[in-house]
Structure formats: C-alpha cells, structure tokens
Amino acid sequence: MSKVSGFILKQSKIILLVVIVVVASIFANDPVENIFTVIMSQATFMLIYCLGMTLAILTGGLDLSVGSVAAFASYIGATLIIEGYVVPGIIVGLAIGAGIGAINGLLISKVKLSPFIATYGMDWLVRGLVLFILAGKKIFGFVPAFTSLSKGALVGFTNTMKISNPFVIAAVI
C-alpha cells in the first residue's frame, strides 16, 4: 500500500466531512457557517442524549434504554404541554426519565444485574409501553415558543445562544 492510499484510508472520515461541506456550500444558498448552525440546531436533542451516554460509558456503565425512555418521557410531557400545562409537562417528562433511570440504577447496584441486561430489559419494557399507549399516533399542536426549544434556541435570545452550549461546556469541564 502506498503512502497516499494509506493516508486516504486513515483520514477517510475527515476527507468525507470536507467533501460534504464543500458540496453543501456549493449547492446551498447560505454560507458554510450557516450550514453548521443548522446542523447544530437540528441535532441539539441528540447532542444532549449523546453527552449523557458518554458520561455513562466513561463511568463504566452502559444504558441501552435511552431512546425508549426519551420517547416515553417525551410523549407524556408533550401530551401535558399540548393540554396547556407547559411547566408541569416539562417537569413530569424530566421526572419520568429520572425515575426510570433510578430504577435502572437500582437494578444494577442493588440487584447486581449487568448494566447491559438491566437497561436492555428496561428498553423493551418501556418501548412496549410506548407502542401500546401511542398506537402510532403523532403529537402536534405545540406553541411556536416551545417548538423553538426543540431546535435549541432559547426564547428571547439569538440563534447563536443554543441550549446545547451549556451541556457541551459542562462535558468538557
């Protein structure tokens, strides 16, 4: 293998990222920095999930139930928010996620289940609950101020002030 092909193989992810940015900036109406802003605003919730998962993995754990727990907590919270209970909806959604996380923690620490087994079982249990309750329904009807939160913008601030920023700073520290 030549040096050039070895370099391309080792740096393939970076090269692919550069190609994507170049192609996107050629076909986009906005400058490159706006492309990254759009990507970050659309990926805010994933960033928060990934930071939580990173912290779990760094401490020697594993949580396979993140997606199902997020879906369940989001559904219950969103149902309350649509009914007009914005603050209770957010609090209940966070409490459901924390409660299921606490149950996972107890299964791992007190019952001495493997993190893989405990969170895998919880994933299927909560996923089944979500499928049973939701039955394929979609949730809509949020107020615009709340939907801006899903894109990472804080109400009353510019788009450069993202919700994900404090999470990134906390993770780095």
* pTM of this structure: 0.66
Give me 79's structure tokens.
């149902």
Nearest to 119 by CA among 101, 132, 143: 101
Extents of the domains making up the chain: 1-30, 33-172
Residue 104 exposed, middle or buried by CB count within 10 Å (0-12, 13-18, 19+): buried
**Separation of alpha carbons 78 and 139, rounded Å:** 7
At 57, the pLDDT band (50, 70, 90 cuts) reads confident
pLDDT of 86-114, one tens digit each? 889 989 999 999 999 999 999 999 999 99
Is the pLDDT at 160 greater than 60? The verdict is: no
Give me 39's structure tokens.
């990507």
What is the per-residue pLDDT for 127?
Answer: 94
